[in-house]
Structure 1
Amino acid sequence: MTNFLNQAGIATLIHNADWKSIVMILISFVLMYLAIGKGFEPLLLLPIAFGMLLTNLPGAGMFHSEIFEGGHIHWDLIKNGVTLSNGANEAAGLIDILYLGVKLGIYPCLIFIGVGAMTDFGPLIANPKSLLLGAAAQLGIFIAYLGALGLSKLGIPGLEFTQKMAASIGIIGGADGPTAIYVTSRLASELLGPIAIAAYSYMALVPVIQPPIMRGLTTKKERMIRMDALRTVSKKEKIVFPIAVTAFVALLVPSAAPLVGSLMLGNLFRECGVVDRLSKTAQNELMNIVVIFLGVSVGATAKAESFLSPMTLGILAMGIVAFMCGTAGGVLLAKFMNIFLPEGKKINPLIGSAGVSAVPMAARVSQKEGQREDPSNFLLMHAMGPNVAGVIGSAVAAGVFIALFG
């Protein structure tokens, strides 16, 4: 009985005075409350929070960071087990196995297949100018990247970021969780926990973060601009689009091909009309299964010793800067484009903020802000153009970083 009590998790917490693990468990409870009680990105925030709980429970042995130390997979430890500090040997845990899908870049690509199958690129095809707004909203990615490097120059202990770390932090500004996870797993896997949590937290806070920036950068007259109805896009255009985009991006930025190709494959399933079973599977069963595996395994990387540090605070700070700059970039480019557009053809700058690619939440925020000024103005379909363009833009930005630093 004494041996049993000494091996219990509560005894480990008390004996080791492991306050960091207790803090992480409390943080996981807060994230679960936000997911369940407030509905903040529950599909991913809930599995991430539960993964965080599992990995910080002492003695559970579900995740061993030693297996992935140095950015590599130590297959010998998966096969032979991990030697603990007390000399005991412990077999690889459940989440160690699930995390291989993150480390090998499998889960983000599978999620992109599902995202593509659920996405209608019609508004982007009907208004190609939307692609520019989606690209402008990626401004936050590169500003945060430079900001992280600049922060490192200040010499503050715990805030030293390498080029790879800065690139991983910057990609938070794309407001695209799977892309952030994909880049970080390739470049700075030790930061996966805080970056994933920052990315999904800020995505959930789109309705809170974006409106003040949108109102601050636009006038009442600009927010009331009405846009012409979009033209009808033919089925042939919708089928050709994913094929053409895949070929173009793969030739221009080959390292972005896995993400963009997966996105466009899912969209081709949707639009071609001959593989309805595959399209429905990608949207539902595949997407749901991968989201569970991805969320739990990413949350498990948020171990107390790595998460509770000044570096995590720096990541959260640069992440919000990236997100705000991305929102501003899309709005400001729309205002700039209006200088050259004739009356009656001007763009409502509110749709530029949707380029941050949090689909479809950012587009809904544009619609809501437009109707605050004019309840009869409908911007949703116009905002969907920059919104889906932002998904492509963030994937291309990810490919650029991987090509530069991978």
Structure 2
Amino acid sequence: MDIFHQFLDTTGFANLTVGNLVMILVGLVFIALAIIKDYEPLLLVPIGFGILIGNIPASDDMQLGVYDSGSVLSYIYFGVSQGIFPPLIFLGIGAMTDFSTMLSNPKLILLGAAAQMGIFLTLIGAMYLGFSPKESAAIGIIGGADGPTAIFLASKLAPSLIGPIAIAAYSYMALVPVIQPPIMRLLTTREERLIRMKPPRHVTRREKIIFPIAAFLICTMIAPGSLVLVGMLFLGNLLKESTVTERLANSARNAMIDIVTILLGFSVGASTDADNFLTKQSLMIFGLGALSFAVATASGILFAKLMNLFLTHKINPLIGAAGVSAVPDSARVAQMVGQSEDPHNFLLMHAMAPNVAGVIGSAVAAGVLWSVLAGQ
């Protein structure tokens, strides 16, 4: 009986806390949203299951969690805590991204830049709430709707906040179809939503090859801190557009990015044990993340309306919302909202321009913040 009672004391049921139950419920909600609503299932399923694993209580001497030195989970989480996984994901994103729409209409890059306003306004708000400049910078990146970038910058500036920042960033990425449409309809008129844009011009193979090399040099000269993310992004794109390394590009955009996505999502989820996650700081990060995302969406739309004051061929302001770098979901949302007014208005190809520009913009913004704050 003593052995039996000792066994009972080691079970998860004996050590389960209310916080663990809350986090397990959150993990189940993530999995349900992914399967039932099809909200970013490639991200939410591994994250949700990781949350379940991270909140099964075990004896202190068993060394099972991501924060326990020498555990299997800690070795997987090493790719998150040291910022290894995000650049590998950027390599895959670059290998699957077509920058043609952006190159055919370069002024749409400005919409991707305008959407980064959410990052810097949220940084100010986080500092006002008492976060340090480094923590505020890591929180602000959530507004770029770019999970890998948020994780990368958090690993460099605020390692203790990686869990809530990553969960917040990926949650808002998954909820793009829910969050963005009300803001888009609020800030545009029906006449603006009905605007049809000129078809994009043809982009030559030479332009596609020159672009990743030239853009890499320009971006990294401006913000050396973006070297790793931008470098991997444009390397992946060059592998794709050169057409002589198709095997490498295919591996980067399929097998490799899938493997890294599983490991990143799973280990991020496993890092959210209740003791470390259910804090006042985490709640504030989620609130600031929502504000950041809303401001980024609104900034892109309002800047498109501003540009229309000076353009002969008007821009549909809906595509400004795609300036956040949730690729390609925010571009699809622009298409969906536009077609709700006019089923024959096809905005997707135009929205992809600020969408991919937002990926570059968020990486450069992260590089700027890291460069400025690294020594503080």
TM-score range, shorter chain: over 0.9
Please state if 1:365 is matched with 2:333. Answer: yes
Per-residue CA distance 1:261-298 (angstroms, 9 max, x = gap): 11111111111001111011001110111111111111
Whole-angstrom distance in 1 between the partners of 2:186 and 2:28: 35
Q: Tell me which amino acid in the other structure corresponds to 2:331.
A: A
Please state if 1:10 is matched with 2:9. Answer: no
Please state if 1:385 is matched with 2:376. Answer: no
Q: Tell me which amino acid in the other structure corresponds to 1:97.
A: Y
Please state if 1:208 is matched with 2:178. Answer: yes
Who is 2:362 aligned against?
394
Whole-angstrom distance in 1 between the partners of 2:347 and 2:265: 33
Who is 1:89 aligned against?
none
Out of 130, 139, 155, the residue aligned to residue 169 of structure 1 is 139
> In the TM superposition, what is the alpha-carbon distance from 1:194 to its structure 2 partner?
1.2
Who is 2:121 aligned against?
143
Please state if 1:404 is matched with 2:372. Answer: yes
Whole-angstrom distance in 2 between the partners of 1:185 and 1:271: 31
Who is 1:193 aligned against?
163
Q: TM-score, normalized by length of structure 2?
A: 0.95
Per-residue CA distance 1:137-173 (angstroms, 9 max, x = gap): 0111111111111222xxxxxxxx1111111111000
Q: Superposed, which structure 2 residues align to 1:5-404 within 5 Å?
A: 5-13=8-16, 18-59=17-58, 61-65=63-67, 78=69, 92-152=70-130, 161-342=131-312, 345-404=313-372
Per-residue CA distance 1:81-129 (angstroms, 9 max, x = gap): xxxxxxxxxxx21110011111221100000000111110000100101
Q: Tell me which amino acid in the other structure corresponds to 1:182.
A: F
Aligned-residue RMSD, C-alpha: 1.3
Per-residue CA distance 1:214-253 (angstroms, 9 max, x = gap): 1111111111111111000000100110011111111111
Q: TM-score, normalized by length of structure 1?
A: 0.88
Whole-angstrom distance in 1 between the partners of 2:10 and 2:200: 65
> In the TM superposition, what is the alpha-carbon distance from 1:367 to its structure 2 partner?
1.1
Unmatched 5+ stretches in structure 2: none
Whole-angstrom distance in 1 between the partners of 2:102 and 2:127: 34
Is residue 66–residue 77 contact of structure 2 (8 Å, CA) maintained in 1?
no
Q: Tell me which amino acid in the other structure corresponds to 1:365.
A: V
**Partner-residue secondary structure (3-state), 1:29:** helix
Per-residue CA distance 1:1-53 (angstroms, 9 max, x = gap): 3232322222233xxxx222222222212222222222221111111122222
Whole-angstrom distance in 2 between the partners of 1:222 and 1:376: 15
**Partner-residue secondary structure (3-state), 1:129:** helix
Q: Tell me which amino acid in the other structure corresponds to 2:147.
A: G
Is residue 242–residue 267 contact of structure 1 (8 Å, CA) maintained in 2?
yes
CA 1:100–1:151 in 2, change beyond 3 Å: closer, same or farther?
same
Q: Tell me which amino acid in the other structure corresponds to 1:11.
A: A
Task: Tell me how many residue pairs correspond in the alignment.
Answer: 368
The answer to which of 19-28 and 188-197 deviates more is 19-28
Whole-angstrom distance in 2 between the partners of 1:229 and 1:95: 49
Who is 1:158 aligned against?
none
Is residue 66–residue 267 contact of structure 2 (8 Å, CA) maintained in 1?
no
The answer to which of 119-128 and 362-371 deviates more is 362-371
Q: Identity, % of aligned pairs?
A: 56
Unmatched 5+ stretches in structure 1: 68-77, 79-91, 153-160
Whole-angstrom distance in 2 between the partners of 1:229 and 1:128: 14
Q: Tell me which amino acid in the other structure corresponds to 2:46.
A: P
> In the TM superposition, what is the alpha-carbon distance from 1:64 to its structure 2 partner?
4.5
Is residue 54–residue 62 contact of structure 1 (8 Å, CA) maintained in 2?
no
The answer to which of 2-11 and 219-228 deviates more is 2-11
Is residue 55–residue 62 contact of structure 1 (8 Å, CA) maintained in 2?
no
Q: Tell me which amino acid in the other structure corresponds to 2:47.
A: I
Q: Tell me which amino acid in the other structure corresponds to 1:63.
A: G
**Partner-residue secondary structure (3-state), 1:316:** helix
User: Which ranges of 4 or more aligned residues in structure 1 deviate by more than 4 Å?
Assistant: none
Whole-angstrom distance in 1 between the partners of 2:101 and 2:125: 34
Is residue 44–residue 265 contact of structure 2 (8 Å, CA) maintained in 1?
yes
**Partner-residue secondary structure (3-state), 2:106:** coil
Is residue 239–residue 268 contact of structure 1 (8 Å, CA) maintained in 2?
yes
Is residue 81–residue 162 contact of structure 2 (8 Å, CA) maintained in 1?
no
